[in-house]
Amino acid sequence: MDPSEVVLEYLRVQNRPYSTNDIFNNLHEEIKKPTVQKALDHLAKTGAIIEKAYGKQKVYVVKQEDTNVKNFEQELQDLDSKFNEISQKLASAEQELKSNEKLLCDLQSAPTTNAAECEQKLLESRIEVLKAKFDNISKNTVNISESDSKQKQKDHESNVKELRKRRRLCMDIIESILEFYPNSKRALLDEVGIETDEDVGMPLNL
């Protein structure tokens, strides 16, 4: 039997819209998919069936008798409504996926909590050493040359700048973790063993 007749007879019996894939699968792949599409194109061109596009997807239905036109139009309206609903859900899901991918990328590029904790301890230890040296120098009555004084001041400013940078990085990580942490910031700091500037009496104006 001619493929066009097979497809047309199937659509007449079913009397409802189908896509090319639906027809191909429902005919149990007796006719190759390109042949099914060619038959549908021919039938639509001759007016034996009606073709309607939904984005990139097309559906086909046998031409209706007057008594069935209203039912067919209602079914097409239902398909339109369903297509729009699915499109909106897809757009929302894609937007959520992009947002989550960006968050994941940000988290993966940031240092781990353990790395941040180790870096913080190293900086705190270095600061303590520098503070002790500064205290000794402050109490020392030996005159310091102007060049040494400038170098010490330069070193101090460099260390303070690095401290601010690392402290800001550490707190950024803490804030990122807090987005998914069920308890308070104080609870998180206590759990991971991080001491804040206030906890150790560090001057906040550093």
107-158: pLDDT as tens digits: 777 777 777 788 888 888 889 888 888 877 777 656 667 788 788 888 888 8
Query: Which residue in this structure is represented by tokens 């559906």?
Result: 59
27-46: pLDDT as tens digits: 888 889 999 999 999 999 99
Picking from 169, 159, 165, 167, the residue whose alpha carbon sits closest to that of residue 198 is 167
168-192: pLDDT as tens digits: 888 888 888 888 888 888 888 888 7
164 pLDDT more than 80 = yes
CATH of 3-88 given 1.10.150.20, 1.10.3720.10, 1.10.10.10, 3.40.120.10? 1.10.10.10
Mean pLDDT of 55-66: 78
Query: Which residue in this structure is represented by tokens 């991971």?
Result: 192
Q: Is 43 exposed, middle or buried (0-12, 13-18, 19+ CB in 10 A)?
A: buried
Q: What is the DSSP letter of 36?
A: H
For residues 206 and 189, what is the distance between their CA atoms, to the nearest angstrom? Answer: 21
For residues 4 and 6, what is the distance between their CA atoms, to the nearest angstrom? Answer: 5
Return the domain boundaries, the chain: 3-88, 110-192
70 pLDDT more than 70 = no
